[in-house]
Chains A and B, each alone.
Chain A
């Protein structure tokens, strides 16, 4: 007998629907996938001028999201080296989230680090 733990989104029937996209939580022992919900470890904002290391303490490379305030009240999603040349990017390893700002003026960065191991 399968074991399930499902919470359907409004408008969907948890008993008959089988599309994981229609659930806020979808666990079914008969399904080969786990449909893991990503779990946040920490989030914060910091002013960066040059390089700032944020120790995450996980011991593996986690999933993260990083944004920089490129102008007052406007926050841009960051990736690796920016092709658009705003001078802000990040790197992450098993020890630190490394925030980099080579724009020449301090900028506010916001980051979210998740427990989920991406390697």
Chain B
């Protein structure tokens, strides 16, 4: 029996190509979808490391979701990812520096969990944008 597929090639590529990279969409391959997304506004305590925040997700009970997230200080224009700092200063000799570190994003069956350090002597308002994929 002939396999039935729906596929849309990129511009300039043949729909009969066998290279998955040549397609915008190919029904033979799972495409990751955003199952849930949202924002969470937090305030980081001054001069405090290891600050944890949680956001309940609405997936089926006992499902641990695939999550990713980005953070943005309300006073800044750039976002930064987990395992990264909010770079405020950069120079070739001095390297990068910033007060806020987005340590990690993780999830369990109930919550998405975010963890930050804040080396700033003042509180810092941060907005997190998170995505559950699948």
Question: A residues near B, CB below 8 A?
Answer: 5, 24-25, 27, 29, 34-41, 65, 67, 70, 73-80, 82-84, 86, 112, 114-117
Contact = CB atoms under 8 A, between A and B. Distances in A.
A22 B103 CA distance: 32
A58 to B, nearest CB: 9
A115 B29 contact: yes
A27 B25 contact: yes
B107 interface: yes
Interface of B: 8, 10-11, 20-21, 23-26, 29-33, 64, 66-68, 81-85, 101, 103-109, 113, 115, 133
Given A79-B83, A117-B21, A29 B11 contact: yes
A78 B21 CA distance: 25
Nearest to A72: B108
B8 A25 contact: yes
A100 to B, nearest CB: 14
A70 B8 CA distance: 39
A75 B107 contact: yes
Contacts of B32: 37-38, 40, 112, 114
A14 B66 CA distance: 29
Nearest to B83: A79
